[in-house]
Amino acid sequence: MSYPEPRYFADAGENSATLRPGDAPPDLRMGPLDAQGVPLGTQVHYLGTGGSTNGAFGLYRWEMGPRPSGPDPHFHRTMTESFYILSGTVRLHDGTGWRDTSPGDFLFVPEGGVHGFRNESGEPASMLLLFTPGAPREGYFEELAEIAATGRRLSDEEWTELYHRHDQYMV
């Protein structure tokens, strides 16, 4: 394995870093809040999108509330996906079955690898999702949130079209 081809060709470096504070509010909320304003659904933080990383990767902090949530097993044709558990218990599908994971656990899924994730613990859980290369996953997340918020019903054909448009192939 060697280093990739250079992508930066100037003689000197430049001041181009971006910082996102850890206490920044979530970019997307999926699901309701309880009477005290605590999220019961999922909050997503767009840490580094494909657009902001020049297509290198997409990194998202996924904070799940106590209600069951997460996609069924699926695969992607154009990107890898990795999971790093920050808190709580997250069920990850590794292509052979569901595994309960805990903080510090990591799962890498290459292109075509069957995977899924769920929070079925009844307690909040959080993880980092990393996609390489950086695809516009936030558009997919936002479309799912809009469908859930409005109660819109999609036909099987509409779900298939939505999934394929976002490189999501259910198994």
Q: What is the pTM of this model?
A: 0.93
pLDDT digits (tens, 9 = 90+) for 26-66: 999 998 777 777 767 899 999 999 999 999 999 999 999 98
Name the CATH topology of 28-170. Jelly Rolls (2.60.120)
Between the alpha carbon of residue 27 and those of residues 8, 120, 140, 158, the distances in Å are 30, 23, 13, 26
Residues facing 170 on adjacent strands: 74
- The angle subtended at Cα 77 by Cα 90 and Cα 29, nearest 5°, is 45
CA 126 to chain centre: 11
Listed by start position, the domains of the chain span 28-170
Name the token pair of 121.
């613990």
pLDDT digits (tens, 9 = 90+) for 72-114: 999 999 999 999 999 999 999 999 999 999 999 999 999 999 9
